[in-house]
Amino acid sequence: MEGRIIPDNQPFDSLADVESQQQRIQQAQEVIYQFLLDRVESSPPETVLPEFKQLFFFGECQPNPDVARSIYELLEQKDEQEFRNTLKRSCYILINNWSASRRSDSIEELILTLADANPLKSTVSPNLNLLRTWIANFIESPDYQELKVFTLSHTERRGWSHRYAYYLILPQYLDSQNPVEQRELAKKTAKRLKEKFKFELAMYTVHCDSPTFRKKPPANPTRLGNGIIRLLKQLISRKFLHNYSHAADLFVQQSKTLNYWDCKQKFLEYLLFSTSPQQSIDFFKRTLTEKLETLYESYHEETTTMDLLLRTCRRTLEFLTTENGQEPSPLFIALTSQGSPLTIVILLLKVILLCNYVRTHLDNCIASLIRYYEGYPEAECRWFINFLDIFNVVFAIYTENMQFDVVKIKEGESEVSELGAYRIFCQLKGADLRGSDLKGADIRSSDLSAADLREANLSSADLSEANLSLAKLSSANLSSAILMGADLTATDLNNANLNGANLNQANLSRSNLQKVNLRRATLVGAKLRHTNLQHANLSHGNLNQAILCGSNLKSADLRQTSLQEGDLSEVDLSEANLSQANLTGANLQRSQLDRANLKGVILEQANLSGASLIRADLSQANLNNAQLNQAMLRGANLKEVRLRHAILTHANLEGANLSHADFSRADLSHVNLRGADLSHTFLRHVNLSNADLRQANLTGANLFNANLSGVKVEGAIFKQNAGLSQAQQGELEQLGATVEFSKLTPRDRNPWKNPLPPHSPSLLPHQFEN
């Protein structure tokens, strides 16, 4: 479509023309947004990215011509700012969706695709030339720089500022002028980065201070080196720890009875309390005194209100960091260059403890300082990086849900200053919600980490994407709750009721779910690595593709549960009830299934290599095409089991009950079948080379075309067998077997005297080979 570009000097006839123009722009934008939303939700990035490029680089859209016309509508209006807003929001629609599905590679490709558009050649079409000019201008704008922040951890390693991406991303969320998709993405990303730093700090400080991990500690999230350990011990040991929170509470109470002038004097005393005397502090006192004297002078005789205190705290933060939002303040330069960075960090902390509502404003100020210094090489601003790292550590200790403690581990050290005698321990602090009634509450994406929710009523509550890691939920009612994508890492759910709950894609790794009720719950794709599910009720549930490797499911109830393609490697399922369960394609390598009830279970194409199934009940089970090489099945009950095409090389089936089983075309080479009951078993085309059949009972077994080379048959019983020639029977007798010579008849070739019950459709007579 050839568009008509309106000249810059063409006047509008009336206000109605302006309104009509805005309406056409909004309609065009909505068409583009809806198209991209539909495409990104229904198509892979490999399809969406070329379509995005065709739309914004060439003005074309084959799937929907109306979208291309909308692009030209924007060009006709000659409103570059609206076009830039459209392109910006379109990018965030894609990035937000791909971020949720963890497609960081596609986000990077989108950013690089935009960068590659800059050298696009001009064309004969004025509209296309204008389109490409606007795109080139967008790439040079701050909007594009904001987009790049979301790939700093992946694509840009040249600068040092990417290590503090949290501060660069947060302002995008706070700016109400940004598209809703950009703000939502910024909020989620900033939260994730903050939680990641807290977790890495806890792991490093605890493990680095431990003799066990000293040789190879986790990565240090700061650039403070080993000095971070001494800093933490100084901050939290009794000699150095001042109860700043108590002092802050005391000041707030006193301020309510003071006029504003007196309050400012007390405020200065509060900030200077317990601060080491030094030249920079004298400068701080003089400078801040001058600034506070003229601050809100008209309120000097009025009683101090919380609003006035909040505004004072905001201005003080600016005095200490950046007063114009662009350059560092004189106080910041003086306190960081002449004294220890810890001094200004403690001063900032004191302000926040007075009024936590100004924390986001402080983060904005820090972001402005990072923007100011990020153009300098790292070597030239190491002092500033040192300040940022100390700031992050101190604020993690005093303002986040983390509790650090030092415990004396060496006897004979009398002074607390001997910090080497102490070890650091860390735990999360959570909200106290024990016994709360939150039935049906919508608390999606809530941060409830380490919260105490014991005996709470959360039935039918929506906790999708919520953070419940380390939470206490024992005896809680979570029946029919929605916990899709929730983080329940290391959570205590002992004896909780999760009947009918939706836990799809949830992370329950290392959690305690002992005796939990998960009957009819759905856990598709859930992560349950090293989870305690002992005596849990998972019957009639859906755990397809769930990851349970290393978990404890001893004595668990898994009747009629679906575990298709699940990872149950090295799981303890001893004495568990898996009757009628579906484990098609499941990975059960090296799992423990001793004395488990596997009656009627479906294990088609399952991998049971190295598994232990001693005395397990596998009667009427379906193990067609399963792998059981080196499995331990000693004394197991495999009566009427289906093991067609199964691989059992080197498996131990000593004393197992395999009567009426179907092993057609299975590999039983080197298998230990000593003393096993193989009466009336179907062994057609089976590889039994080098198998141990001593004292086994093969009465009525069908051995047509079976490979018996190298078998040990001393004491084995061969009677009424189909598929054995008289010569073969004679050889078996010579090897020490008890053989009843019989004449082969058509009936002998299919000696199934007692067919399987009708509820076993895969073993109906028409499926047997003749």
CATH number at residue 754: 2.160.20.80
Distance, CA of 260 to CA of 263 (rounded, Å): 5
When pLDDT is averaged across residues 247-270 and rounded to a whole number, the result is 91
Q: What is the pLDDT of residues 308-357, one digit of tens each?
A: 999 999 999 999 999 998 999 999 998 888 777 888 998 999 999 998 88
Residue 620 corresponds to which tokens in the numbers above?
């009427």
Q: Same domain for 487 and 583?
A: no
Strand-pair category, 717-719 with 738-740: parallel
Provide, rounded to the nearest whole percent, the portion of the chain with pLDDT above 70. Answer: 84
Query: Would the pLDDT of 369 be above 70?
Result: yes
Q: Which helix (H) or strand (E) holds 428?
A: strand 422-428
Query: Would the pLDDT of 757 be above 70?
Result: no
In a domain, 380, yes or no: yes
Q: Same domain for 580 and 543?
A: no
pLDDT at 546: 96
Q: Same domain for 597 and 660?
A: yes
In a domain, 207, yes or no: no
pLDDT at 147: 85
In a domain, 218, yes or no: no
Q: Same domain for 322 and 438?
A: no
Return the DSSP state at 717.
Answer: E
Structurally, the chain folds into a number of domains equal to: 4
Q: What is the pLDDT of residues 204-227, one digit of tens each?
A: 776 665 555 555 667 788 888 777
Query: Would the pLDDT of 750 be above 80?
Result: no
In a domain, 171, yes or no: no
What band does 768 get if pLDDT is binned at 50, 70 and 90? very low
- Please write down the long-range contacts of 495-500, taking CB distance under 8 Å and 24 or more positions apart: 497/459
**Whether the Cβ atoms of residue 693 and residue 673 lie closer than 8 Å to each other:** yes
End position of a domain, from candidates 552, 582, 609: 552
Distance, CA of 530 to CA of 676 (rounded, Å): 35
Q: Same domain for 629 and 686?
A: yes
Provide DSSP, 235-275: HHSTTT---HHHHHHHHHHHHTTSBHHHHHHHHHHHHHTTP
* Interhelix angle 260-272/341-354, nearest 10 degrees: 140
Q: What is the pLDDT of residues 716-726, one digit of tens each?
A: 999 999 988 88
When pLDDT is averaged across residues 626-641 and rounded to a whole number, the result is 92
Provide, rounded to the nearest whole percent, the portion of the chain with pLDDT above 90. Answer: 49
Distance, CA of 514 to CA of 179 (rounded, Å): 45
Q: Same domain for 357 and 324?
A: yes
pLDDT at 428: 61
End position of a domain, from candidates 156, 177, 209: 156
Which region among 152-156, 322-326, 358-362, 741-745 has the lowest average model confidence (pLDDT)? 152-156
When pLDDT is averaged across residues 370-386 and rounded to a whole number, the result is 90
Q: Same domain for 522 and 646?
A: no
**Is residue 427 exposed (0-12), middle (13-18) or buried (19+ Cβ within 10 Å)?**
middle
Which region among 116-130, 595-609, 699-713, 738-752 has the lowest average model confidence (pLDDT)? 738-752
Distance, CA of 462 to CA of 481 (rounded, Å): 6
End position of a domain, from candidates 156, 174, 202: 156
Q: pTM higher than 0.95, yes or no?
A: no
Q: Same domain for 316 and 464?
A: no
Task: Please name which of 629, 670, 622 lies closest in space to residue 647, comparing C-alpha atoms.
Answer: 629
- Longest C-alpha distance within the chain, in Å? 119
What band does 424 get if pLDDT is binned at 50, 70 and 90? low
pLDDT at 744: 46
In a domain, 706, yes or no: yes
**Whether the Cβ atoms of residue 708 and residue 735 lie closer than 8 Å to each other:** no
Mean pLDDT across the chain? 84
Render the burial of 210-227: b for 16+ CB within 10 Å, e for the rest: eeeeeeebbebbbebeee
In a domain, 321, yes or no: yes
Q: Same domain for 588 and 736?
A: yes
Query: Would the pLDDT of 571 be above 90?
Result: yes
pLDDT at 770: 33
Instruction: Assign residue 705 a region (left: φ > 0; alpha: ψ between -120 and 50; beta: otherwise).
Output: left
User: Which range of residues forms the domain containing residue 439?
Assistant: 431-552
Name 667's Cβ contacts closer than 8 Å, sequence gap at least 6.
629, 646, 647, 648, 649, 686, 687
When pLDDT is averaged across residues 81-97 and rounded to a whole number, the result is 90
Q: Same domain for 548 and 579?
A: no
Query: Would the pLDDT of 407 be above 70?
Result: no
pLDDT at 356: 86
In a domain, 418, yes or no: no
In a domain, 295, yes or no: yes
**Whether the Cβ atoms of residue 529 and residue 490 lie closer than 8 Å to each other:** no
What band does 733 get if pLDDT is binned at 50, 70 and 90? very high
pLDDT at 450: 83
Distance, CA of 31 to CA of 658 (rounded, Å): 66
Task: Please name which of 756, 762, 758, 751 lies closest in space to residue 643, comparing C-alpha atoms.
Answer: 762
pLDDT at 237: 58
- Please write down the long-range contacts of 414-417, taking CB distance under 8 Å and 24 or more positions apart: 416/237, 416/238, 416/239, 417/239
pLDDT at 605: 95
Residue bearing tokens 């004393």: 655
Q: What is the pLDDT of residues 502-558, one digit of tens each?
A: 999 999 999 999 999 999 999 999 999 999 999 999 999 999 999 999 999 999 999
* Stronger pLDDT, 149 or 48, i.e. the higher one: 48
Q: Same domain for 460 and 535?
A: yes
**Is residue 517 exposed (0-12), middle (13-18) or buried (19+ Cβ within 10 Å)?**
buried
* Identity of residue 520: R
Q: Same domain for 542 and 585?
A: no
* Stronger pLDDT, 530 or 274, i.e. the higher one: 530
Task: Please name which of 74, 67, 85 lies closest in space to residue 21, comparing C-alpha atoms.
Answer: 74
pLDDT at 483: 95
Distance, CA of 60 to CA of 1 (rounded, Å): 9
Distance, CA of 461 to CA of 66 (rounded, Å): 42
Distances in whole angstroms, Cα of residue 468 to Cα of each of 99, 164, 464, 488, 546: 21, 26, 10, 5, 19
pLDDT at 15: 56
Distances in whole angstroms, Cα of residue 477 to Cα of each of 327, 439, 520, 767: 53, 9, 15, 48
Which region among 192-196, 359-363, 626-630 has the lowest average model confidence (pLDDT)? 192-196
**Whether the Cβ atoms of residue 478 and residue 498 lie closer than 8 Å to each other:** yes
Query: Would the pLDDT of 261 be above 80?
Result: yes
Distance, CA of 95 to CA of 690 (rounded, Å): 60
Query: Would the pLDDT of 415 be above 60?
Result: no
Q: Which ranges in 1-64 belong to alpha helices (H)? A: 15-42, 45-58
